[in-house]
Amino acid sequence: MKKYFITGLLVLVPLVITIWVLKSLIGVMDQSLLLLPEAWHPHTFLGRDIPGIGAILTILIVLTTGLIATNFFGMQLIRLWEQLLNHLPVVKSIYSSVKQVSDTLFSDSGNAFRKAVLVQFPHTGAWTIAFLTGTPGGDVVNHLHGDYVSVFVPTTPNPTSGYFLMMAKADVIELDMTVDEALKYIISMGVVAPVAKIPKLLTQYSND
């Protein structure tokens, strides 16, 4: 009986959590319907709400924005819009900070979260996985002697929170695993371990 119950949990728990995450995500994206006039809402002409319509609208808005932003006139329009926001006292600080973070995280040229590393945290002898986010800047570099890097240590099983650390580069070990593999390893609390990669020299030797 216990065996069947545990087997059922192993099948249902991932499915239920996946459905819950997707439902929450679609629910948030459906809020984009508030941008439309009331007469255009599904419940107005169909008599009921249809989950997912707002998610489709959100995707279309993102794609359209990206299409506009990639041409010359769109870039000029965005530049004017940013200049306008930069003249608003409170909005300026919030928008510029968020934009810098988003540009760093999502830009192909950015280096943040492009490499998984192994660091000692929270004390010497205890190891955990972190992600490179860059190098220290500002007045911080005037107080750090040597070569330092900035890392983000995510918490488990929720990697959206964590700790920002500046560590000596010599104390950071780069891992031969993708960011996705590292995240799965962290979220699963070490249960889903990435497959160890065989060194190229060893592979070549075995083939010979």
Per-residue pLDDT, 171: 92
- Please check whether residues 123 and 170 belong to one and the same domain: yes
Note whether residue 136 is domain-resident: yes
Per-residue pLDDT, 26: 83
Listed in sequence order, the residues at least 6 apart from 95 whose beta carbon sits closer than 8 Å to its beta carbon are 82, 85, 86
**Residue closest to 117 by CA, chosen among 186, 22, 71:** 186
Note whether residue 207 is domain-resident: no
What is the C-alpha separation between 111 and 122, in angstroms, rounded? Answer: 24
Over residues 26-46, the pLDDT tens digits come to 888 888 877 778 777 777 777
Q: Are strands 173-174 and 127-134 parallel, antiparallel or unpaired?
A: unpaired
- Please check whether residues 89 and 169 belong to one and the same domain: no
Does the predicted model carry a pTM greater than 0.85? no
- Please check whether residues 90 and 122 belong to one and the same domain: no
- Please check whether residues 71 and 142 belong to one and the same domain: no
What is the C-alpha separation between 205 and 208, in angstroms, rounded? Answer: 5
- Please check whether residues 20 and 54 belong to one and the same domain: yes
Note whether residue 36 is domain-resident: yes
- Please check whether residues 51 and 80 belong to one and the same domain: yes
Per-residue pLDDT, 87: 80
Per-residue pLDDT, 201: 43
Residue ranges making up the domain that contains 168: 116-187
Note whether residue 106 is domain-resident: no
- Please check whether residues 63 and 135 belong to one and the same domain: no
Q: In sequence order, what are the beta bridge partners of 117?
A: 130, 174
Note whether residue 104 is domain-resident: no
| Backbone phi and psi for residue 166, each to the nearest 5 degrees, phi listed first | -115, 115
How many domains, the chain? 2
What is the C-alpha separation between 180 and 178, in angstroms, rounded? Answer: 5
- Please check whether residues 92 and 140 belong to one and the same domain: no
What is the C-alpha separation between 24 and 30, in angstroms, rounded? Answer: 10
Q: Are strands 173-174 and 116-120 parallel, antiparallel or unpaired?
A: antiparallel
Sign of CA pseudo-dihedral 115, 113, 19, 185: positive
- Please check whether residues 87 and 134 belong to one and the same domain: no
Per-residue pLDDT, 108: 56
- Please check whether residues 8 and 60 belong to one and the same domain: yes
Mark which of 57, 73, 99 sits at the end of a domain.
Answer: 99
Note whether residue 198 is domain-resident: no
- Please check whether residues 122 and 85 belong to one and the same domain: no
pLDDT by residue, tens only, the chain of 208 residues: 777 788 888 888 878 888 887 888 888 888 887 777 877 777 777 777 777 888 888 888 888 888 887 887 878 888 888 888 778 887 777 877 777 666 655 555 555 677 899 999 999 999 999 999 888 888 888 899 889 999 999 888 777 788 999 999 999 999 988 888 888 888 888 877 777 665 544 444 445 5
Note whether residue 192 is domain-resident: no
Note whether residue 206 is domain-resident: no
Residue 156 corresponds to which amino acid? T
CA 25 remoteness from chain centre: 14
- Please check whether residues 120 and 95 belong to one and the same domain: no
DSSP conformational letter for 84: H
